[in-house]
Copies of this chain bind each other. A is one copy, B any other.
Amino acid sequence: MITSIILINTERTKVNTVGAQLAAIQGVDEVYSVSGRYDLIAIIRLKNIEDLARLATEKLSHIDGITHTESMVAFKKISPEDIAGMFDLGS
């Protein structure tokens, strides 16, 4: 399982249509229109990096109105219990 977060800018009149098309793609779990420098944030969950490659370089490119994307691949989901392990780091 691989998680990716994508920060997206769109043409001004297409925030909601781009968002809805994104949300319809398999593997796109959540899409939010957001305040700030970006227009949309998409949270992606897919089986492996090959599926993510297909989504990022092929499926997204079919959506009209996207002007900029910056994708981040999650290395790891961090939980509160990870603090314990942390103390080993400096030793």
Given A32-B78, A76-B32, are A89 and B20 neighbors across the interface (CB < 8 Å)?
Answer: no
How distant is the Cα of A17 from the Cα of B58 in the complex, in angstroms?
11
User: Which residues of chain B come closer than 8 Å to A53, judged between CB atoms?
Assistant: 33, 75-76
Rounded to whole Å, the gap between the CB of A12 and the closest CB of chain B is 5
Interface 1/0 per residue, A58-72 and B, CB below 8 Å:
101110001001111
Of residues 1 through 29 on chain A, the ones whose CB sits less than 8 Å from some CB of chain B are: 2-5, 12-17, 19-24
In the complex, chain A residues 41-91 whose Cβ is within 8 Å of any chain B Cβ: 41, 43, 49-50, 52-53, 56-58, 60-62, 66, 69-83, 85-86, 89-90
Q: In the complex, how many angstroms separate the beta carbon of A18 from the nearest chain B beta carbon?
A: 9
